[in-house]
Amino acid sequence: MKKPASRSLIALSTSALALPGIAEADTPPLTSSLSYKISNYQEDELSREQVPFGELERYDIDVHQFQFISPLGRDYALFINANHENMSGASPWFSTAGTNGQPVINMSGASGIYDSRSEVSIGARYYGTRGNIGGAIGYSEENDYRAKYVSMSGSRNFNNDLTTLTVSLSHSDDSIFPSDAERFNRVRHENKRASSVAVSLSQVLNPVASFQTALSLTGQSGFLSDPYKLQDSRPDGKTQIAFANSLRYFFIEADGALQSDYRYYRDDFGVRSHTLDLSWFQNVTRSLKIVPMLRYYSQTAADFYTNIDDFLKPLSESQSSDYRLSAFGAVSGGLSVVADFGGWSATLTAERYVANEKYSAFTVDQPSPGLVQFTRLSLGVNYSF
Amino acid sequence: MIRLMAVLITLGVLTGCSQVQPWERGYLAKQEMAWDSDPLERALNDHIFFSKEASSGGNIAAGGGCGCN
């Protein structure tokens, strides 16, 4: 009788074959895997100083994520992802000057917002002798928004498989049909399109370090304003460039790995930003890891951002009091505990995010009173079979 | 700015590389050394930050949009 391969042998083989250079070719995953993650995302309430009247509560969102990966024959793999979110709360509607002349926020309707979002995507990938190529299609639907998208990517290994070049393309076609459009004089139906191309180069530096550099370019066109804001008018086109660099370094003595990711971003709305992500993966035992994480983010304001809406300005001129277009900085920290029981693994994550104009690396001319602070808790499980 | 970073990175890569043999790549094969060691965590974070900040994009082409931004 043929003896089944042990879990540890499969895990070892999978890890080894996932690495260019050990395998003679790129290979699909050796086993199937099913993953589920449940998360709660909760934004802090605003203060009465920031919101003189109405709701203080902001978004509370529950997220369910599913992923199924399976090899198909010797050279192919199938990927299925599904997400579902339930959200409630309120978001900034417009901004005015308070009694002291400082900006204050008026929140969306007293009854708040209730919405849900469902998304599914399916993809396949072919693994050849020197690389892999694959694609996916996806569909996302909310009460007031629908997105259909397609993506493709291909990787080629060079230099004894120490260097990998990856090119990816995507296109999304979105429809916006705001709730209560007639009652609040919102747009009835609008469209938005986004196309992206990204090129990345990965390089193994030595037996414990690898580096990746990537450039992505995204063009958006159509209705880019926020239909739920009272006075929001943005240009109908946007070009975004992101330049990302990642380092992975394993410290043998410490039995831990550093993940470091930096991104520089700019767009023609006038936003520039820096993002730095650091994670330390500490192996405590063979089946237990703890992963502290730290992230810093800072952006400039969009050229047309204002922290007090000007209702005399015609909508033909760009204007927005959206806090996401203001200049600010944000610090977030988190901790994950990862337990691996052979075929099963579980990950528990807690994260805290605080945005504040005081953390900005750039000059802040008009601070927003609507910046977000949130707490996120997640529990994920993965089963390989 | 971008040009300066590109030059520095290219120099760093060219001077830092060595011929790593297949049997020397055990540490590189560990899950924590992957570019995307937890795809669901990464997808969730991308979605949250896409919703709360003005920046997006990076090393892969963007997926579908949402009403959150």
Give A269's contacts (C-beta < 8 A, 6+ positions apart).
A234, A235, A238, A302, A303, A304, A325, B54
pLDDT at B10: 57
Highest mean pLDDT among A43-52, A83-92, A296-305, B57-66: A296-305
Q: What is the dihedral of CA B6, B10, B11, B14, to 10 degrees?
A: 180
The reported pLDDT for the residue numbered A115 is 87
At A167-213, the pLDDT tens digits run 999 999 999 998 887 887 888 899 999 999 999 999 999 999 999 99
pLDDT of residue A187: 86
Q: Is the pLDDT of residue B2 over 90?
A: no
CB–CB contact B44 A206 (8 Å): no
Q: Which of A22, A139, A209 sits opposite B22 (nearest CB)?
A: A22
- What are the angstrom distances between the C-alpha of A355 and each of A44, A278, A298, A324, B9? 11, 18, 9, 10, 30
Q: What is the pLDDT of residues A59-78, one digit of tens each?
A: 999 999 999 999 998 899 99
Is A337 a member of any domain? yes
A63 located within any domain: yes
Return the pLDDT at A3: 46
Interchain proximity A204–B40, CB inside 8 Å: no
Closest residue of chain B to A247, computed from CA coordinates: B35
Q: What digits encode the pLDDT tens for the residues B6-28?
A: 555 555 555 556 688 888 889 99
Q: Which of A8, A64, A65, A193 is most worth mutating to test chain B (most B CB atoms within 10 A of its CB)?
A: A65
Angle at A100 between CA A95 and CA A106, to 5 degrees: 20
Q: Can you give the CATH number for the domain in which A153 is found?
A: 2.40.160.40
Residue-level pLDDT at A118: 95
Q: Is A281–B37 a contact, with Cβ atoms under 8 angstroms apart?
A: yes
Q: Is A347 on the interface with B (CB under 8 A)?
A: yes
Q: Is the pLDDT of residue A298 over 90?
A: yes
Beta bridge partners of A113: A89
Give me the residue from A35, A200, A248 closest to B33, CB to CB: A248
In a domain, A245, yes or no: yes
User: Which candidate in B44, B59, B69 is best for mutational testing of the A interface (most A CBs within 10 A)?
Assistant: B59
**Is A176 domain-assigned?**
yes
Query: Is pLDDT of B5 > 70?
Result: no
Give me the domain span that covers residue A110.
Answer: 7-384
- Give B-chain residues touching A374 at CB under 8 angstroms: 48, 52
Mean pLDDT of chain A: 90
Domain-located, residue A1: no
Q: Give the pLDDT confidence of A11-47 residue by residue, as tens digits.
A: 444 444 444 444 445 788 889 999 999 999 999 998 8
Domain annotation covers residue A113: yes
Q: Is A296 on the interface with B (CB under 8 A)?
A: no
In chain B, residues with a C-beta closer than 8 Å to the C-beta of A218 are 56-57, 61-62
**pLDDT for the residue A107:** 84
A353 vs A49, more confident = A353
* Number of domains within chain A: 1
Q: Do A147 and B65 touch (CB under 8 A)?
A: yes
Record: contact A200-B57, CB cut-off 8 A: no
Structure tokens at A168: 């990816």
Q: Rounded to a whole number, what is the largest CA-CA distance in chain B?
A: 48
Are A263 and A244 spatial neighbours (Cβ–Cβ below 8 Å)?
Answer: yes
Average pLDDT over residues A143-161: 93
Q: What is the pLDDT of residue A23?
A: 41
Residue A367, in any domain of the structure: yes
> What is the structure's pLDDT at A108?
76
A2 in a domain, yes or no?
no
Collapse the DSSP code of A75 into the 3-class scheme (helix H, G, I; strand E, B; otherwise coil) and give the result.
coil
A–B CB contacts, 8 A cutoff, strictly below: 225
Q: For A370-385, what is each residue's pLDDT tens digit?
A: 999 999 999 999 999 9
Smallest Cα–Cα separation from B22: which of A13, A21, A75, A17?
A: A21
Chain segment A225-270, per-residue pLDDT in tens: 999 888 899 999 999 999 999 999 999 999 999 999 999 999 999 9
